[in-house]
Chains A and B, each alone.
Chain A
Amino acid sequence: MNKNKNLTLHLLFALTFILISLALYYTITTFGQGSGSGRIKIGFILDGDINDKGWNESNAEGIYGARENLGFDLFLCDNIGGSEDKLYKTVKEMAAKGCRAIILSSGNFEKMMEKYSGEFSDITFFCNSSATGELNFVNYSSRIYQARFLSGVIAGMMTESNRIGYIGAIPDAEGNRGINAFALGVQTVNADAKVQVIFTGSYSDKESENKAAERLINDYDCDIYTAHTNVNNTLETAARYNVHYIGCHRPTGSSMELASVDTDWDMIYTDLIREFIKGNIVNESTYWYGLEGDYVKLGFISYLVPERVKFRVDSEKRRIIRGMDVFSNMIKDNMGNTLCRSGENMPDSRLTYDMNWYVRGVKVIDENDQ
């Protein structure tokens, strides 16, 4: 009996001792530490599915990479599609969660968000290829047009029919910039070649894209074509007609693919968000990342592309890096007007806001023109 009582006493003593020691330790070590985690919150919105093997997937991989590099809190929402209501609700939710910046990774979002910008005036919106002048909007993008120019060089040198197809999505500044850069690449090496463009009206519409591809091949005699869409949807059509294809985003692995134009979103989002956190981003400004530093590149060149073509591509790449960018020197539109004179360079602002023209050699095919 006595023994038991003794044991309880010992235990009680040891317990008190440990508890007081722990309390002392906790008080000392936590004293004076600021509250709150302090990690910045960033929102990221995509129009399609993050596993689409195309635009959305490569963008999502990019932002995940940036999060790994920088360690911020990420709120990501995909599959918004064209729904303004859904976009607004998502932005509102992200604002409520305390996001200080929201990245709108799809070109069509900024128009939908324009009228709400006042409501979220303390949030910075990063718009991919934005063309609005809202106070809290920042324009970011890759100079993917530089890679399209290089892919145009390949197409121009390898076409036999001198007819090259281009499946465009929407004829806005971003879409036209790609077409013009591609056509300038073609024209640089082959003044006789023509670029035939069909717009599908959407960044992801498998059926229309395949229809457009068949028309380009059958009705317009194209032996090489490219597309500027979210997903490389027409690979099977290309294989069926044995026509070469220039892809975008990640290389597809198809035997028909000659080259792919690719952007390293990981590097771009890391740079962008790092500067934002440090307070170096100026609203209403333009942040574009290009060939220099490998932010954009030809991610893949097939072995079918002959040595001499690769040589020319390398040489043109050096020229661009040396300061002779795609939209410089003499450029005429397809009506014969001079847009840029020798010795001049189009500023980024013009590439953003003033792109409702097509360069020489581009023919846009009307929907109803059968």
Chain B
Amino acid sequence: MKMINDRIRIIIVWILFIVVFIVAGVLLNSRLTNVLHSYIESQVCEQADRMASVVSEKLFRETDKLRYISRVIENHGGHVVDAVSADSIHRKMGVQTLAGSALSGEALDITVFQGIQDSFRGDSSISYVKNEGVLFTVPVYNKKNVRYVIYELFDDYAMKESLSLLSSDSRKVVVTTRGGDIIIPFSDVTKNEIAYFESRAYRDIFNELSSSMELNSSAAGFYSVNGARHIFFTADIPYTPFRLQGYMEPDIMSAGMLDASKLVIYAFAFLLVLYAVGSLYLIIATEKAEESDELRKAKQQAEEANRAKSDFLASMSHEIRTPINAVLGMDEMIIRESDNEHILEYASNINNAGKSLLNLVNDILDFSKIEAGKMEILKDEYKTSFMITDLVNMIAVRAHNKGLEFIVNAAPDLPSVLFGDEDRVKQCILNLLTNAVKYTDKGSVTFDLNFEKHSDKEIILDVSVKDTGIGIRPEDQIKLFSPFERVDLQRNRNIEGTGLGLSIVQNLLRIMDSKLELQSEYGKGSTFSFRLKQEVSDWKRMGDFAEAYKKSILTQNKYTELFRAPEAAILVVDDTEMNLTVFKGLLKKTRISIDTATSGNDALKMIRVRHYDMMFIDHRMPVMDGIDTLNAMNELEGNKSKGVPCVAFTANAGAGSREKYRSYGFDDYISKPVSPSELEEIILRYLPPEKIELIDPDEAMADDQQEEIRDEDQDFINAYQAAEGLSYNVAIASCGDVSVLKDSAITFYKTIDERAEEIRSFLENEDVTNYTIKVHALKSSARIIGAVDLSVKAEYLERCGNEGNLEEIKKRTDELLNDYTSLKSVLSFIYTEYLDTDEKDSDTAMQDLFREALRRETLMQFILDVREAADDFDFDRILDNIRLIKEYKLTDELKEELKRLNDAADRFDDVRVREILDRLEVIL
């Protein structure tokens, strides 16, 4: 034994040293290379900055020349302007006015040549225009204001002629924009080299360098392209939007310095070999001296004997299981088919005894598997909350039956998904818990689960099980872990078991690199604990395990109802029928019995008649708001639903809403419009668990798929999408599915007249409070059916109401009610039988007129603006206006006219423009 230990120790030390050597060598080499590289890079950056300043100076020399001309014009007046012209076909020069025409030379488009605009603001500027060249501009003042701008435009050839810097064989440079377009290819750069500068690989390198240019004026780095290694560099050209880019051979800068790192590699390699040879010799010598043949033989025999025993046990246990299963199976048949009370009692005793026997055999089987080395650890992802819930479910009943208190402290910060062998971990904890319950007669069993972060990917689970049982004497504690031993037999005669449990736990933990620890005081209780490393798949907090368990079941699939509660009853109180319809629709599949009330008073009557498991109450209601209703319920005599969970509906949820509603006495709140999953989640949280039947998600999905979209639904969707003023997407998002939307739209449609009348009468009575409540309700119900514009208007008036601004309300309410009632004709497609034909026709006609007016007003403005622009000969403004009006929905006739207008403006034909405008006015 000692010999083996020694050998292992020597090998470990030997490997450690080699590892340290290798790591140190690699680190040293990369460090040295880095230091050399960054030194060379900084040198290159400095050089690039110098080159960039030279280019900057050369560029500004051109601006100085223009500024001189500008002085001459300012001093001598406009007549010198004609003298401004270029002497080469590769350069353009001119004098431009604000309106865009040119006094001399060619007129440049101000939207393309931004530099001209900069100079009209008083500065000289240098800019680059793609495909045109480099533009130099300088302002010409007339007293205090800028009158003209002188420009000079160099094409590529001219730039090359007047500004080239020399490249050499080992260094290539170009001037580019910040985006990387080449402006000045330096004089002796060849076509191939330009192609290289424009290649993908090269661009990638410069994009990378550019990212470090964010806060530096220059950058450089080593990169390999097509096997050749170069230093690439780039530098901002000061005070211009340009950049210098290029590359050079590394040898010029490094002068052989980079070879230094090779020296390090060689030296370390030699040292390593030397060390390996030396230590290997020593190990072999030690081994030889210590190992003896006899010992080895004896050990081998012992191992073989042990293995034979384990094999025998394993196969025996396996054989025993088959008949037990047969007995249990037959017994099950008896239980199912017999009515006789006595026989049932006997059979169930057989069942219990058989299960105990099966457990024993399973334990033995596990144990012998471990002994034979056949136990494998199978790792997979598992949910922490699921594991804890399973354990609690298995133990809670047993503990309860024995009258013990079972306490679970699971850290809510535990990662929600771990990676390991869930079954084995569970087996270990379950064994400890079962033992604890078994050996404890009164008091409690406590299950603690904590963790410690071990690395970025791993945690150490800290499991401990504490009981207030009989405890274990110190001298027994050693025996405890050996197989088949049971301690304190006198006291524990009546406790069944193989005595294998702890041994199995200990062995499983050993396989998983952990070990079981025990603290015990005889007569007072024991604590078993272990620490186990597990990988982490998802660091998200588990939270309260019971909640996390429910939640993860809910979120496994997207919207599919995951529970039914046909036994449960819920009361919903809201003054808006729309909200009640949606609420019922969303919960239809859960089969919950839902009662609704449209006012606090109705609700009070209803709770005297029936018990509800849960209530939802709207905060904002007329006469008696949600808080008043809740308070009245609490004081009500004969309330059958006293103390049941109450959730507030609110349209104005924000930070701190939960605390706010808790302080009012609600248990929670939910914000409108209600989302299906949120609603179910909150119901799952508060409904008594015994009334909830969870459904297998697959089954629920299958149910859903059976409901294909029917043809008439498709027609409905099409009609909805086509309807003016309704957004189908907004509507379906708040309603969840088509049938709910249909119900909601019908409710909305049916209540239009009544609600509009209410709003009108509250306004007439100047009752701002109730008026505000009504428009508030309209805001949310309009949103549910996707009438976004109406909802926005209602929201505006709600705001006015909150501010008490009666004047504004009086002014705007008619418009709101117009829009509101006009939705009747829009919605008529869903509910034609509610509308006789005459009414329908007049409504649609009005709707058309309304839209027409809106468009006419904008069009009039358009004509006005274009006429004004034509008077100023500002044709660019005319074109802008045409572009803007084209964003509206237009008739074909109008489109045709606009096209003609566009052509006329393009030709600067102001007479024709006016003609077309006159015609447009007539059309209107």
Contacts and interface: CB of A to CB of B under 8 A. Distances in A.
Interface of A: 17, 21, 24-25, 28-29, 31-32, 40, 70-71, 239, 242, 253-255, 274, 277-280, 282, 286, 303, 306-309, 311-312, 314-315, 318-319, 322-325, 328-329, 340-341, 343-350, 354
B75 interface: no
Contacts of A239: 803, 805
B923 interface: no
Contacts of B122: 347-350
B28 to A, nearest CB: 5
Nearest to A39: B215
A32 B35 contact: yes
Contact of A25 (B27, B142, B236, B858): B27
Contact of B98 (A253, A254, A345): A345
Nearest to B808: A242
B117 A255 contact: no
A298 to B, nearest CB: 16
A141 to B, nearest CB: 13
B880 A345 contact: no
A307 B121 contact: no
Contact of A303 (B145, B793, B807): B793
Interface of B: 16, 20, 23-24, 27-28, 31, 34-35, 38, 97-100, 110-111, 116-117, 120-123, 139, 141-142, 144-147, 213-217, 236, 238-239, 792-793, 796, 799-800, 803, 805, 807-808, 854, 857-858, 860-862, 865, 874, 876-877, 880-881, 884-885
B215 A70 contact: yes
B121 A325 contact: yes
A307 B850 CA distance: 14
A233 to B, nearest CB: 16
Given A70-B215, A309-B861, A319-B880, 15 more contacts: A25-B23, A70-B214, A255-B796, A255-B803, A278-B215, A312-B865, A322-B111, A322-B877, A324-B874, A328-B98, A346-B146, A347-B121, A347-B145, A348-B122, A350-B122
Contacts of A322: 110-111, 876-877, 880
A246 B41 CA distance: 55
B282 to A, nearest CB: 16
Contacts of B147: 343-344
Nearest to A240: B805
Contacts of A309: 861
Given A32-B31, A312-B865, A344-B146, A255 B808 contact: yes
B31 A315 contact: no
Contact of B35 (A21, A31, A253, A306): A31
Given A303-B792, A343-B97, A348 B123 contact: yes
A314 B884 contact: yes
B793 A31 contact: no
A307 B799 CA distance: 22
B120 A345 contact: yes
A323 B98 CA distance: 8
Contacts of A253: 799
A311 B858 CA distance: 7
Nearest to A327: B145
Of B99, B146, B216, the most chain A CB neighbours within 10 A belong to B146
A31 B34 CA distance: 10
A79 B183 CA distance: 49
Nearest to A279: B217
Contacts of A315: 865, 877, 880-881, 884
Contacts of B216: 278
A255 B800 contact: yes
22 contacts: A25-B23, A25-B24, A25-B27, A32-B31, A70-B215, A254-B803, A255-B796, A278-B216, A278-B217, A303-B792, A303-B796, A306-B857, A307-B854, A307-B857, A308-B860, A311-B865, A319-B874, A322-B880, A323-B98, A344-B146, A349-B122, A350-B144
A323 B215 contact: no
A29 B26 CA distance: 11
Chain B contact residues, majority secondary structure: helix
A135 B803 CA distance: 52
A318 B142 CA distance: 26
Nearest to B881: A315
Contacts of B214: 70, 274
Given A239-B803, A319-B880, A344 B34 contact: no
Of B803, B860, B861, B881, the most chain A CB neighbours within 10 A belong to B861
Contacts of A254: 803
A32 B100 CA distance: 59
Contacts of B34: 32
A309 B854 CA distance: 12
B818 to A, nearest CB: 15
A306 B27 CA distance: 70
Contacts of B861: 308-309, 311-312
Nearest to A331: B145
A329 B120 CA distance: 12
A8 to B, nearest CB: 16
Contact of A307 (B23, B858, B877): B858
Given A322-B876, A322-B880, A350 B145 contact: yes
A32 to B, nearest CB: 4
Nearest to B31: A28
Nearest to A34: B38
Nearest to B876: A322
A323 B880 contact: no
Nearest to A253: B799
B144 A343 contact: no
Contacts of A328: 98, 120
A28 B16 CA distance: 19
Contacts of A350: 122, 144-145
B146 to A, nearest CB: 5
B27 A344 contact: no
A356 to B, nearest CB: 13
A113 B857 CA distance: 53
Contacts of A345: 98, 120-121, 145-146
A279 B122 CA distance: 22
Contacts of B98: 323-324, 328-329, 343-345
Of B38, B122, B123, B238, the most chain A CB neighbours within 10 A belong to B122
Given A308-B858, A318-B880, A278 B236 contact: yes
Q: Which 5 residue pairs of A and B lie closest in terms of their CB atoms, listed nearest first?
A: A347-B122, A308-B861, A32-B35, A344-B145, A318-B880
Nearest to B122: A347
Nearest to B799: A255
Contacts of B858: 307-308, 311
B45 to A, nearest CB: 13
A274 B210 CA distance: 14
Given A323-B110, A329-B98, A345-B145, A308 B238 contact: no
Contacts of A277: 215
Contacts of B139: 347
Contacts of B803: 239, 254-255
A349 B139 CA distance: 12
Contact of B31 (A29, A274, A286, A340): A29
Contacts of B805: 239, 242, 255
A323 B149 CA distance: 13
Nearest to A315: B881
A328 B139 CA distance: 14
A28 B31 CA distance: 7
B65 to A, nearest CB: 20
Contacts of A280: 217, 236, 238-239
A346 B116 contact: no
A25 B31 CA distance: 11
Contact of A348 (B121, B800, B874): B121
A32 B142 CA distance: 60
A307 B885 CA distance: 11
A120 B862 CA distance: 56
Contacts of B865: 311-312, 315
A279 B238 contact: yes
Contact of B27 (A29, A311, A329, A341): A29
